[in-house]
A and B are shown apart, each in its own frame.
Chain A
Amino acid sequence: MEINIDKIITKYKGKDGIAIPLLQELQELEGYLAPESIRYLSEHTGIPVAELYGVATFYSMFYLEPQGRHIIRVCKGTACHVSGADTLGVAIRSYLGLSEGENTTSDSRFTVLEVACLGCCSLAPVIMIGDKTYGKLAVDKIGKILDQYE
């Protein structure tokens, strides 16, 4: 693992404004930002741990916990909100058996996240799984869509 982190560090070390790309590549490599990896990054780049955490917690793209194999983004934009996004979110969580406060299924198959707006408002309500967008959704379509993902 550390060999690969070292590659990332070599690529950016000494340049300006590298905290975001460093963390992005780390996350790509390991799936999330583990505390020991952040510490390792800090030790080898000289960027304080606090600064790295400052960036990591500021942007919604960074995950501080391991994520499921498929990330479901439930759009909570205005158009989706007035078209039943809340109900859809409840249905997805209920279908996956997630309890309150839990975002990832115990088999690590799915992580369910809410996003502010996916910009596909004309098809509200919308969700995105990975890079694929599903629009004009209704509660009874959810099972069929989720079952396609291993």
Chain B
Amino acid sequence: MTIKTIKVGMASCGLASGAEDVYHAIQKNLPDSIELKKTACLGFCFAEPMVEVIDEAGKSEFFGYLTPRDAEKLLNNTLPDRKLLISQKRDAPANKQLARQVRIVSRHSGSIDPENIQDYLDDDGYMALKKVCSSMSSQEVIDEMKASGLRGRGGAGFSTGLKWQFAKDAAGDKKYIICNADEGDPGAFMDRNILESDPHSVLEGMAICAYTVGAQNAYIYCRAEYPLAVKRLKKAIADAEEMGFLGDNIFNKGFSLHIVLKEGAGAFVCGEETALIASIEGKRGMPRLRPPFPAQSGLWEKPTNINNVETFASVAWIINHGAAAYAAYGTEKSKGTKVFALAGKIKNTGLIEVPMGITLREIIYDIGGGIKDDRPFKAVQLGGPSGGCIPADLLDTQVDYDSIVKTGAIMGSGGMVVMDDTTCMVNIAAFFLDFTQNESCGKCTFCRIGTKRMLEILQRIQNGEGVLEDIEKLEYLSEQIINSSLCGLGKTAPNPVLTTLRYFKDEYIAHIKDKRCPAGVCSALVHFEIDEEKCTGCTLCARACPIHCISGEVKKLHLIDQDSCISCGACYTVCKFDAVIRT
């Protein structure tokens, strides 16, 4: 086989795993006959750094877990089979995982160079915008979006076509559109990857939307924690302007669009649309009452259409392939595909795109490869701090907006964090409440103080100081917070507590009645000691201890200084000889 092209994955996960060094190592010994390219992320983050090798016949193979030292073998075609992930020529471990996916939003992720507009243009880039500008009326575009069944991917799942209709029908000649790239849900990184891997698809979707609703100005509100996404977006905007896809008089059709990139200043609640608008206006990001909805009165009190990154990134494909092609995927009420971020105790952490209606089990086991170290599955957390934990016996739940809501969780933006038997569900509930409590803007009393009181109760339970009435108190407070909060943050903040209470009440009871943490996480309820018989003196525990309170020489018995021990369990996790006893 003769290698024609090599592509190195250079998105955040790849770069953090050393892709830059791999790239340079390949470049150093590169023969003239091979083209070396940069691309972003295919979604197999667990195997980064990754490369794709394409031969003269156009057949490709992906290799993972690369180090700079693999460069030579890569160029000689002698990489060991264990580094092979996906292949069009032979059996490979991740072939099936890729085959189960339907990649619409992520069609370019990991194949094109996101910093090269030509790559995007070579694959129908900006064709949809051209089609819309030259041959479709606004209403035709809206009808197409409605027919596609696309629902907003930012969490609430509102019909995109309808939303555009409201913005188009709103009176006024100055209108705005906003792309919500604030992606604040912990455990979610779909939007980051779209922005890093295929920024032009978002810009094209925004331009189509602007043309449709009649907006001349747009903002992208991107969180500052995504420096690479910001950098690539800036370049993409400049390149698209230079080539006339953005800016004045696009395609000579008299339509103009100017996109401004705004970096967030670090506040989760600014992902909520009215808070986001306040933040762009330079104020504290406090949500306000709706109506009026942004479509009537949004940024600077002008009609404003706001959509999520993934929503915009779906638009060009729908225009190019037709609404029917998109609606052919999914279920009756949840059409199309959705990108999910797999993280936590799952083998294949990364990003996947699947048709709606697939089950959680298929995602976690068939695509995600199952649970790390083959431990027992306990729960999957969907929807971040607004969502909930779904237990093992609901693994056959279909992933669509309505089925997920029935479990007490929400689809949310697409983060899925998998938990195994080493995760304590009371601790997880407290973790999310700590988050929402911190991020509450403080406007609504129940959200501001109620979440704080709930957190205190959960902390008491974790400390073994809980009483059974605490459970009722949690339920009562949850109801009050849901009913008395203005925005989605407060209205959904109790969800992680309610779902863990619903599915894992026994864990709460164990903490309260038996003063025991079944997962061995809550530090006040666990105690660690080293078994004299089993300790081999391998020093692993001493090196893992964050506060260095384990002493002992090589091949001699180790000892935990009980006065300093913080019961974090790091020693227990790393010991290979079961010599750390947890009681």
Contacts and interface: CB of A to CB of B under 8 A. Distances in A.
A138 B544 contact: yes
Interface stretch (B72-80, B224-232, B509-517): B224-232
Given A17-B280, A78-B384, A124-B344, A133 B16 contact: yes
Given A78-B187, A81-B431, A87 B546 contact: yes
- Shortest 10 CB-CB contacts between residues of A and residues of B: A17-B282, A91-B546, A122-B45, A59-B265, A60-B266, A77-B186, A121-B343, A79-B343, A122-B349, A117-B186
B227 to A, nearest CB: 5
A19 B282 contact: yes
A84 B224 CA distance: 25
Interface string B343-386: 11100011100000000000000000000000000000100100
B238 interface: no
A87 B12 contact: no
A84 B13 contact: no
A116 B343 CA distance: 15
Contacts, number: 158
Interface string A10-22: 0000001111110
Contacts of B186: 76-79, 81, 116-117, 121
Interface string B246-287: 000000000000000000111110000000000111111100
Contacts of B17: 123, 135-136
A18 B544 CA distance: 47
Interface residues of A, number: 50
Contacts of A94: 546-548
A135 B13 contact: yes
A116 B268 contact: yes
Interface stretch (B199-207, B399-407, B479-487, B565-573): B565-573
Contacts of A55: 282-284
A36 interface: no
A120 interface: yes
Interface of B: 12-13, 15-17, 45-46, 48, 183-189, 192, 224-227, 264-268, 279-285, 300, 341-345, 349-351, 381, 384, 415, 417, 419, 422-423, 428, 431-432, 435, 438-439, 441, 543-548, 566, 568-570, 573
A94 B281 CA distance: 41
Contacts of A79: 186-187, 343-344, 349, 417
Given A122-B189, A123-B45, A139-B545, A61 B266 contact: yes
A49 interface: no
Contacts of A48: none
Given A79-B343, A79-B344, A118-B225, A126 B282 contact: no
Contacts of A76: 186
A117 B573 CA distance: 24
A59 B266 contact: yes
A133 B435 CA distance: 22
Contacts of A81: 186, 428, 431
A101 to B, nearest CB: 16
A88 interface: yes
A148 to B, nearest CB: 15
